[in-house]
Structure 1
Amino acid sequence: MERRGVAEAIVKGPKHNDPRNPDPKGDHWTVELIKESGDFVTKKHVYPEDEK
């Protein structure tokens, strides 16, 4: 998944505790800097509906 510029990556995975997440049951967004290219990537962590 190689994209230039600002990209959105939807990551489906198990629920995880991140102190930066204001709503533990809602969507979790993180912005990361790719050091190699200097681009910023926005990642949205989506929790499966069957894990509540």
Structure 2
Amino acid sequence: MFIILSMDSFIDKTLNIREILESKNISVCGLYIQEDTNKYVIDLNGGIMNGR
């Protein structure tokens, strides 16, 4: 099963993950996530975003 995400949706979901972790008192020093269907990549540590 594949879920098609827009880049905006991918960014929102990534930021939600970071917010959930921080709300549990888990420090996020770096976060690198790749979505394989559209090849979206976000690196919240380095501010890198790209995709198709």
Normalising TM by the smaller chain, what interval? under 0.3
Larger relative contact order (Cα-Cα within 8 Å, sequence gap ≥ 6) = 1
Q: Which structure shows the bigger proportion of residues in strand conformation?
A: 1
TM-score (norm 1): 0.27
- Larger gyration radius, structure 1 or structure 2: 1
Structure whose residues are more often helix by fraction: 2
